[in-house]
Structures are given as C-alpha cells and as structure tokens.
Amino acid sequence: MTSIGDQLAAACLRHVLQLLHDRTARHRLPEILSHVLRRQLHLFSPSLLSTLAAASSSIRHPYFARRLLILSPSPDLPLFNAAIKSLSFFPSHQPFFLFSLLRSAGLRPDRQTFAPLLKSCSLLPSLQPGTAIHATALLAGFSDHSAVAIQLVELYAQFGCMAEAYNVFVKLPHREIVVWNLMINGFCKRNDFESAFHLFRQMSSRNIVTWNTILAGVSRAGYDSKAVGMFLEMWESGIDPDDATVVTILPICARTGNSDLGRKIHFYAEKKGLLISAINVGNSLIDMYSKCAELESARRVFDEMPQRNVVTWNTMINGLAINGHGLLGLQVFDEMLERGFPSPNSSTFVSVLGCCTHAGMVERGKELIRAMPSEYKIKPRLEHYGCLVDLLGRCGRTREALVLIKGMPMKPTAEIWGALLSACRNNGDAEVGEKAATKLMEVEPENSGNFVLMANLYAETGRWEEAEKVWSVMRGIRVWKNTAQSAVELAAEFYLFK
C-alpha cells in the first residue's frame, strides 16, 4: 500500500509530464525544474531528467540540459543525447566535451548521439572535428543511418566538400527529400549548376524547399531568365510559392524590369496573405516597383503594409531617391523620425543622403552627417562620405568636396577620388581635378579610366598640352583604354562587336 506522500508525488509527476507536452509551458522549464527538485520527483522517475532535457532541446535552451546532467547522480544515454542535442544549435565545443564524458561513463553512443554531434560540427570554423566524428560513427556502425547520413551531407556541403557529401549521399538506400535539398544547395553554393540541375531533374518529387534552393542558387549566379523560367515551371506544376520564393523572384523582376510578372506575384501574395505574414514580401515589392519606375504602386504597397521595419522605410526612401524624387524621400524620412520607430540605421542615411543629392540639398546633407554620431549614435562610414562628396560635386562645390575628403577619418578609396574627379570634369575644375587625379593614380596606377578622365578634363578646359602629356604617360607605362564591346545572344551563341 502506497503512502499519501507517494500518491501526491505521483500526481505531481503526472502534472509535470503533462506540462512538458505543452509547448507553451516548455518556456518555463527553469520553474518546472525547481518544482521537480523541491518535490524530489526525479527520485520517483529516473527518466524525468532525460524528459526535461529533451524538452529543453526543442526550444534550444542549451545550458539548462547541461545543468540536468550535473544534477543527475548517474546520467543515462538519453540524458546525454538530449544535452548534446540542446547544444548542437550553437557554435560551441561543449557537445564534444559531453561526448567525452559519455564515453568515460562507459556508455555506448547511438545514432541519436551522432546526429546532433555532427550538426554542431557544421557550425564550427574547421572541418576537422566533423571528420573525426564521422570516423567514430563509421566504426560504431551508425554512419549509414538516415539521420546521421543527413547530418554528414550537411556537414560536408557546408564546407564545400561536395565529393565527400556525394559519397555519403549515393550510399543512402532511401534518400529523403531533405538530403536532396542539401546536395542541391551545396552544389549551387559552389556554382556547380550542372551537378545541381542533374540532381534536381533526378528527383521523383520536389517540395517548395527544393524549388527555393535551386531558384536562389540560379538567381545568385545572375541567371535571371533561367530563374524566371524555373519559377514559372514550378508555379505551373501546382506548387504554391511561399514568401522565400517571392523574395527570390521579385529582385529578378526588378533587375530585368519585368513589372508584369512582378504584378502577378503581387496579386498572388495578397491573395495568399503573404503581405501580412511576411514583412520581407512587402519590402521586396516596394523595391521591385521602385526599380521599375512605378512609384505609385511602390507607395501603395508601403502605405498598406500592416507593419514596417527599418528595411521598409529604407527601401521606400531609396526608391524615391533613385527615381529623382529627393524631396519626397526626405519627407518619408521625416515621417519616420516623427513616428519614432523604427530608428534609422546606417543604410537609412545612405538612402537619405542620396535624396539630398537628387534634391541638391547640400546643407541638409552636411547636417545629417554631423547628426549621425551625436543624435543617432551611428558612426559615418565611407559610403556616407561618398554620398556627400557626390552631392557637393553635383552642386559644383568641388573645393569643398576636396576639403571634406582630406578631413575624413578613414583613408579615401579610389571610388571617392574618382567621384571627385568626375565632378571636376563636369564642372570644368582642372585645378582640383588635377589633385584628385594625382591621388587616384596613386591608389589605382594601372586603371586606364583614371588617365582618360584626366586627359578629357584637360582637353575640355582647353589645356591641350597637359592632355597630350597624360596620353604620353599612358603610352610610356603601357596603360591603354579598354575597347568597349557589345554582345548579342542569338540561338544560344554569343556574338561580340567592338
């Protein structure tokens, strides 16, 4: 006959186990553990600590599981496995320390040990720990198990070792779709699209992750027409694009000016509620419409978005800037400041300074650069100074731009000096242009474009002797202007014209 205390403990234990099946309660694991220890419930159920550790791994609560190991007088394999899994989501050597403890305790690792251990290896800067664990798993007879093999493929693909990944892949008797996706992603990252497409076409079934992986790889490599074709193939096959698909294809629409496809995707995104569930979809639509010079549509998306983050505001401001509507862009920036959230970031000021450039607002631009560190705690970077140099140059204030460059807290780059030299040419300022050219040639002595700019500046200001001297220097040091070429693709063949 059990005592009342035992009955109460059993009731408490049942309550704790019920809580652990509730995902919302799992975020209160420290409180649950305190309750377990206070009632000494782990003495009634030796597996309770392992159950707690497993729950902690599902919410990525790493050090909680390690604490459970310390509390356990004789930790078993499930407890070690749960602790290793909870640590496998973070770049750390802790899982290997626990693996050593596990083996020192005389326990034999199993597939549930090796899979998370290999997962943690893929987050480390070196492949060496992963190859060591692979060898251990091979000796233990678990390297061919599905969960372990998937992590091995992910590990080798992460480090670009696709031959090793493929060796594991081909030995799998049953290849889950996730392992196909890992292989395709690995080949895409290595720009080996022939291998990626070969696997892609071999798949008997593909999910949205498969399509997103191949689309992202093709897009990243700049094969825009190929990506659009594959996207339409996916759509026509009955697979609905998700937010990741949409934000991959919309930038292609922006680059190619394909606003017709962009509008179709916009309609689809509204119908599926993607504009509500994924803020990056709205951001991508604003960017696409802006780059297609459809600012009314961009502004409509912006105004109708239920939530906006700093990227939303930056994209709208930049869209107005690149279309020459600097004043409207500054108004949007002022609206952002009035709302007080989100706070502007470094990219915001690049866009806003671009607005100042298009609006010719020199004083506002200088005021913004001064306000960045004092009011917004943002240190101006090279691109911010570059925007201001461009602004001053466009307004004919080349001498002021030279003073700004000399006072910059960082070393000016070729882009900075090149912007000043171009401004000097546009404004006929040979004196400042000569100084900019001298600095530019120190930074890029073999760039023929710099010599050409300087020679043209002299020629356009009537200083023909100086222009001829520049051409003579070019001939003397064998720096030549690259001849422009055009390329036309006809029937899969490229024809070059000089």
Average pLDDT on 88-104 reads: 88
pTM for the model stands at 0.79
| Cα–Cα distances in angstroms (integers) from residue 159 to residues 102, 153, 175, in the given order | 27, 10, 21
What pLDDT, on a 0 to 100 scale, did the predictor assign at position 110? Answer: 92
| Greatest mean pLDDT range, 37-46, 53-62, 93-102, 180-189 | 180-189
Residue 366 has pLDDT above 80, yes or no: yes
Report which of residues 301 and 465 the model is more confident about: 301
**pLDDT score for 203:** 93
Structure confidence by residue, pLDDT tens digits, 394-419: 999 999 999 999 999 999 999 999 89
Nearest to 286 by CA among 315, 322, 328: 315
Question: Residue 287 and residue 321: Cα distance in Å, rounded?
Answer: 12
Pull the structure tokens for residue 263.
């509008």
Q: What is the pLDDT of residues 322-360, one digit of tens each?
A: 999 999 999 999 999 999 889 999 999 999 999 999 999
The pLDDT of residue 483 is: 47
Asked whether the predicted pLDDT for residue 59 surpasses 70, the reply is no
Domains of the chain and CATH, by start: 407-498 (1.25.40)
Separation CA 84–CA 214 (nearest Å): 32
Of 11 and 267, the one with more pLDDT: 267
Residue range 281-309: average pLDDT?
A: 97
**DSSP symbols for 343-412:** PP-HHHHHHHHHHHHHHT-HHHHHHHHHHHHHHS-----HHHHHHHHHHHHHTT-HHHHHHHHHT-SS--
What is the tens place of the pLDDT at every residue in 199-226? 999 998 999 999 999 999 999 888 999 9
**pLDDT tens per residue across span 107-162:** 999 999 999 999 999 999 999 999 999 999 999 999 888 999 999 999 999 999 99
Is the pLDDT at 264 greater than 70, yes or no? yes
| The predicted structure's pLDDT at residue 491 | 43
Q: What is the pLDDT of residue 471?
A: 76
Average pLDDT estimate for 152-174? 94
Q: CA separation (Å) from 388 to 318, 361, 381, 413?
A: 16, 10, 11, 14
Does residue 342 have a cis peptide bond before it, meaning omega lies within 30 degrees of 0? Answer: yes
The span from the CA of 72 to the CA of 83, in Å, is 12
pLDDT at position 317 is 98
Q: In Å, how far are 137, 321, 342, 350, 353 from 376, measured between CA atoms?
A: 52, 21, 12, 14, 15
Residue 72 has a pLDDT of: 75
Higher pLDDT, 97 or 294: 294
Instruction: Report the pLDDT averaged over residues 436-457.
Output: 79
Instruction: Name the 3-class secondary structure at 445.
Output: coil
Higher pLDDT, 468 or 61: 468
